[in-house]
């Protein structure tokens, strides 16, 4: 039995050493320059919740496939935009959560992320006499540009045939333009369409370029184009956004912003400071009460609480768990759960000592008899966390979700802290005869 307790003590010491190596210093550790991942309510940034119109998805795809494709393309868009630690998650059946830490211009983020990104090529509509048909404003009426594909069927030329290698360049006058390249099928369609429009240089006609049904430009076709081409008459900022959209691929379904939250970094830092201060004051008060009321066991519980904090913070850092203000609240509450378990254990120990058991037997019986109550109370909390996580994940409530995750992890680790760590330390003290006075354990001498 004593050998088992020695092994447990060694395990606790090793876990503490590893946890401290990961957590300290805060912005590095044994895994290199690894920092705590902060949520936008701490770091500042933009929170966007999109709803997809699945009624417009391709008929060949299921809802799940369409949403997975949209998520993948949004991830490519935000990553190519240089966003630091973006979070893109599916929420329920038709919603997507996007968190962009450090992004303050939410309107630009919405434009870059939510655009469908469908590039279309169109030609002017002609009447029976070959004249251009104009709309009520006197502008040309555009119709989809189509040609025979490799299978002989008529196909519309769109950005779906583009290779993901578009880039911004400048023309001979130094003006920006977007260079693009088609795959084999797209090159065939473009070749046939521009052959008709060029007409050997006789009465050449323009090729209209539209992005998300919005007119971009209509350059005159002055040669037959196949695999490569450029889009001009566009400013630099728009050119960069277009390249991002074209290379990430067009979204399979339209997206609508249903929730938008902007958090100032200064506000987030102030809230974090106040939350941490409140948490430290609360933990200090709890530690003072435990030591004053339970004496040596209270001191042991406080040390175990410190080890618990180091382990849980190491898990947050090691697995890139995003820390939000509600998540920090969940962490602080879980420390209270650990102390609550110790209170149950220590009260049972005092009862056993009143019954006349020896100190060693009272320690063992205290943990044994308090375990059912500790287990059931923590399980009920974990079930509540699962329900909260489902609610947050389904309805896009990321704050509820962050609270549920940290509280769940905290409760699991607190079980280990309040039972294994505290019991190991107390058992070692009793077995080694370091502290023998019953009064040091909260009991009273007869």
What is the total residue count of the chain?
Answer: 446
Per-residue confidence (pLDDT) for residue 382, from 0 to 100: 92
Whether 287 has a pLDDT exceeding 70, the answer reads yes
Cα 107 to the center of its chain, rounded Å? 20
Who has greater pLDDT, 25 or 216?
216
Per-residue confidence (pLDDT) for residue 440, from 0 to 100: 63
Give the angle subtended at the CA of 216 by the CAs of 212 and 218, to the nearest 5°: 125
Per-residue confidence (pLDDT) for residue 384, from 0 to 100: 92
SS3 152: coil
Most confident of 109-123, 133-147, 382-396: 133-147
In this structure, are residues 405 and 389 in contact, taking their beta carbons and an 8 Å threshold? yes
pLDDT tens-digit readout, 336-383: 777 888 888 888 888 888 888 887 788 888 888 888 888 888 899 999
Which residue segments constitute the domains of the chain, with CATH numbers given? Answer: 2-39+264-441 (1.20.1640.10), 45-116+255-261 (3.30.70.3400), 119-248 (3.30.1360.200)
> How many CA atoms does the CB half-sphere of 289 hold within 13 Å?
11
Q: What is the pLDDT averaged over residues 4-19?
A: 84
Who has greater pLDDT, 117 or 284?
284
Q: What is the pLDDT averaged over residues 431-436?
A: 67
* Rounded percentage of the chain residues whose pLDDT exceeds 70: 87
Q: How far is CA 219 from CA 198, 202, 206, 229, in A?
A: 12, 16, 5, 11
- Smallest CA-to-CA distance from 103 within 236, 259, 255, 262 is with 262
Per-residue confidence (pLDDT) for residue 391, from 0 to 100: 83
Who has greater pLDDT, 35 or 191?
191
Least confident of 30-44, 171-185, 312-326: 30-44
Per-residue confidence (pLDDT) for residue 446, from 0 to 100: 47
Instruction: Give the integer Cα–Cα distance in Å for 30 and 21.
Output: 6
Element containing residue 180 per DSSP (H, E)? strand 176-181
432: phi then psi, degrees, rounded to nearest 5:
-90, 0
SS3 148: strand
Cβ-based neighbour number of residue 48 at 10 Å: 25
Per-residue confidence (pLDDT) for residue 274, from 0 to 100: 80
Calculated CA dihedral for residues 91, 95, 100, 105, nearest 10 degrees: -160
Instruction: Give the integer Cα–Cα distance in Å for 136 and 369.
Output: 86
């Amino acid at each position: 039995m004593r050998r088992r307790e020695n092994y447990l003590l060694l395990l606790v010491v090793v876990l503490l050493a590893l946890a401290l190596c990961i957590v300290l210093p805060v912005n590095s550790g044994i895994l290199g320059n690894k920092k705590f991942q902060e949520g936008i309510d701490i770091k500042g940034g933009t929170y966007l919740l999109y709803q997809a119109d699945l009624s417009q998805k391709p008929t060949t795809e299921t809802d799940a496939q369409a949403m997975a494709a949209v998520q993948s393309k949004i991830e490519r868009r935000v990553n190519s935009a240089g966003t630091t630690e973006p979070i893109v998650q599916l929420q329920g059946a038709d919603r997507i959560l996007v968190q962009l830490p450090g992004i303050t211009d939410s309107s630009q983020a919405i434009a870059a992320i939510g655009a469908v990104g469908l590039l279309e090529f169109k030609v002017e509509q002609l009447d029976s006499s070959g004249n251009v048909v104009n709309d009520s404003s006197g502008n040309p009426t555009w119709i989809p540009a189509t040609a025979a594909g490799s299978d002989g069927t008529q196909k519309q030329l769109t950005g779906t045939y583009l290779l993901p290698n578009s880039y911004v360049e400048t023309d001979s006058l130094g003006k920006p333009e977007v260079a693009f390249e088609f795959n084999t099928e797209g090159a065939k369609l473009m070749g046939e369409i521009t052959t008709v429009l060029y007409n050997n240089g006789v009465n050449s006609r323009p090729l209209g370029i539209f992005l998300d049904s919005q007119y971009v430009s209509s350059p005159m076709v002055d040669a037959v184009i196949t695999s490569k081409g450029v889009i001009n008459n566009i400013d630099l900022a728009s050119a960069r956004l277009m390249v991002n959209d074209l290379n990430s691929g067009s979204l399979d379904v339209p997206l609508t912003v249903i929730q938008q939250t902007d958090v100032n970094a200064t506000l987030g830092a102030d809230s974090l400071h106040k939350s941490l201060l409140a948490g430290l004051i609360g933990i200090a008060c709890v530690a003072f009460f435990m030591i004053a009321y339970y004496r040596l066991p209270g001191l042991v519980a406080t040390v175990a609480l410190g080890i618990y904090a180091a382990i849980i913070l190491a898990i947050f850092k090691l697995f890139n768990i995003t820390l939000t203000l509600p998540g920090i609240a969940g962490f602080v509450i879980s420390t209270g759960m650990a102390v609550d378990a110790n209170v149950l254990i220590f009260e049972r120990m005092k009862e056993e000592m009143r019954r006349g058991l020896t100190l060693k037997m009272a320690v063992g019986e205290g943990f044994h008899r308090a375990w059912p109550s500790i287990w059931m109370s923590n399980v009920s909390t974990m079930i509540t966390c699962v329900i909260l996580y489902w609610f947050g994940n389904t309805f896009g409530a990321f704050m509820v979700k962050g609270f549920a995750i940290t509280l769940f992890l905290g409760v699991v680790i607190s079980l280990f802290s309040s039972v294994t760590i505290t019991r190991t330390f107390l058992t070692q003290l009793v077995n080694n005869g370091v502290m023998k006075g019953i009064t040091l354990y909260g009991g009273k001498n007869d």
